[in-house]
Structure formats: structure tokens, C-alpha cells
Amino acid sequence: MRIVFMGTPDFAVPSLKALLRSDHRVVGVVTQPDRPKGRGQEFVVSPIKQLAVQHNIPILQPLKMKDPAFLEALSAWKPDLIVVAAFGRILPKIILDLPPRNCVNVHASLLPKYRGAGPIQWAIINGERETGITTMLMDEGMDTGAILLQERMPIAPDDTAGTLSAKLAEVGGKLLIETIARLEKGALVPQPQEHAQATMAPLLKKEDGLLDWTLTAEQLANRVRGLSPWPGAYTFAKGDRWTIWRTSASGQSASAAPGTIHGTTKDAMLVATGKGLLAVTELQPANSRRMTAAQYLAGHPLAPGLVLGAA
């Protein structure tokens, strides 16, 4: 089949690679426009664009999905099927209706749970023990289309959004190829989602990283994992911003107010929470590098009683 692939971040790369290894022909790639990033505001190319360039695949980077010039170029590729993985845009009906074999999406959750742009992060933040990949036929809604295939995956206790995303991305590539093969044979019956069971996973913003110390230690530990690597969990100490990279929940209780440093060990800061102590074992102080708590404490002894919180 002639396939157009739409995707942008690292998560989408294994799916495109799987298609490139298959018997199908990727006739074009659609990805987000290059964006300025960092202090120098240099334009950064998406991982999918980098891969497409390596394989000499034609690329489109529309600013608007209904741009006439983009739609004309997309139509000229004559796709039999459009595959979407973490593209970052809603497809309008005019695109959904273009390929005769429909549009198939690779989504990083067990739909109808965690519809939206942040399914991996929110599954970890909410303390889920299991997630997975869903392939589905796309419609005009936000991840509301009929389910084709699903594969489950456990969430490890030490998984971050970054590590889990990498695992799920590989599963996504394999499940995509299986989905297309079974669709070609007419061996798949799309199953409508149970919309009443749906939950949402909205895109995270930078400000979502601010830790609320009134949460339980377990909730905070999950949040730190779910916010890594982006946007990163953070708090403030004496007006300085600390990014918190690694923690663990302790069953110990503390009488101090949430956010108060209860004490320190050789390799952790123990912070009082709404319930239990949170052991902070890796952090990044303002204008500094990422380091272990042991490294920080070696040069910055902390007395119990310091209160962490908003600026």
C-alpha cells in the first residue's frame, strides 16, 4: 500500500521505522513545523523529520491542517492509508476521508482510558500498574475511534514517562504492522469504544510541574516519575527553584507541616507530605547541574525545618 505517515516526537519513530522495513511504501511524511528552542532560539527539527530526511522521503510541515496548498500536496501523494502516531494535531474530516483504507492511529493507552496528548504521563501520575498500546480507526473526535488491536504492558515501579514512552513506542511499531496486515486480510472487526468509560489525559504544561506537598508521599513519587523528563517536577527552597528528578515514598510519618524537611540521610532529603515522608534522592538546584541528594548535601548541609513550596 501507499502510506502517508504523520508523527512528530521520538515516540513515533519506531512506528515509521517499522513501516520502512515492511513491504509497504511510505510515500510521504507529515510532521510539525520546525520550532525555535532554547536560549538561542535555534530551530529544532523533529525526530520524524530527521528520519524522513535520512530515507529521502518527501516531507510536508503545514502550519494549518486545512491549508489548501497542503491538502493539494497531500492528495497528490495518493495514499491508500494514513498512519498517525503522536502527530500533535487533530485531523479534519477532509483528511480523514482522503485514503480509501482509512486513517489508523497508534495511541499510548488502553482506550477508552487516557484519551488525549499525555496518556503516558497521566497513567504514571495516577498510579496505574498497567497501560498499553491501542491501534484504532480515526474519526473526528479526540481518540474516540473504533479499536482495532490492543497490547497490554505493565508499568514498572521505577518507570518514568521517558522510560515507559520508549518501551511503548517499540510495542506501537510492532502492533501497527500487525494491524495493517490483518486489515489487509479483512481479519479485523473494529470495536466501538465504551465512551462512558473514557478518561482524559490532557497535555501537560510547565506549571503542572509544581509539587503540592499536601499530597501523599506515594502520590508525589508517582507525580515526579510521570513528569520526567518533561515538564519536570519542581519546588522552591528559599526562593530558589529545585527540579526534583528522583524520589521514593516512605511509610514513616512526620508531625511537621507538608513541605518541611524532616531530616536527611546519607543519600536523601526526607520531606514531610500530606501522608508519609518523601525521600528526595536526585535533584537539580537552580542554575546548577542534575545531582544526587548526597552530592548536594555534601556541599549544602540542611537543618530540619526548611519549608519547601511555591516561590
CATH code where residue 125 lies: 3.40.50.170
Q: Which domain holds residue 23?
A: 2-197
Same domain, 61 and 148: yes
Rounded CA separation 42/34 (Å): 9
Domain-ending residue, one of 166, 197, 228: 197
Please tell me the predicted confidence (pLDDT) of residue 166: 98
Nearest to 102 by CA among 81, 86, 133: 81
Please tell me the predicted confidence (pLDDT) of residue 80: 98
Cα 142 off chain centre by: 16
Please tell me the predicted confidence (pLDDT) of residue 253: 85
Please tell me the predicted confidence (pLDDT) of residue 42: 86
Please tell me the predicted confidence (pLDDT) of residue 213: 97
Domain-ending residue, one of 138, 172, 197: 197
Written as tens digits, the pLDDT of the chain (311 aa) is 999 999 999 999 999 999 999 999 999 999 999 988 877 788 899 999 999 999 999 999 999 999 999 999 999 999 999 999 999 999 999 999 999 999 999 999 999 999 999 999 999 999 999 999 999 999 999 999 999 999 999 999 999 999 999 999 999 999 999 999 999 999 999 999 999 999 999 999 999 999 999 999 999 999 999 999 999 999 999 999 999 999 999 878 888 999 999 999 999 999 999 999 999 999 999 999 999 999 999 999 898 999 999 87
Same domain, 157 and 256: no
Same domain, 80 and 97: yes
Cell of 107: 495511541
Question: At 210, which amino acid appears?
Answer: L
Same domain, 258 and 170: no
Asked if residues 96 and 140 have their Cβ atoms less than 8 Å apart, the reply is yes
Same domain, 174 and 211: no
Cβ-proximal residues to 215 (8 Å cutoff; 6+ apart), any chain: 223, 273, 274
For residues 23-59, one letter each, b for 16 or more C-beta atoms within 10 angstroms of the residue's C-beta and e for the rest, the string is ebebbbbbbbeeeeeeeeeeeeebbbbebbeeeebee
Same domain, 6 and 146: yes
Question: At 232, which amino acid appears?
Answer: G
Same domain, 146 and 193: yes
β-bridge pairing 233-237 and 240-250: antiparallel
Same domain, 19 and 106: yes
- Report the number of distinct structural domains present in the chain: 2
Please tell me the predicted confidence (pLDDT) of residue 207: 96
CA angle 23-28-33, nearest 5°?
Answer: 140
Domain-ending residue, one of 197, 219, 245: 197
Please tell me the predicted confidence (pLDDT) of residue 79: 98
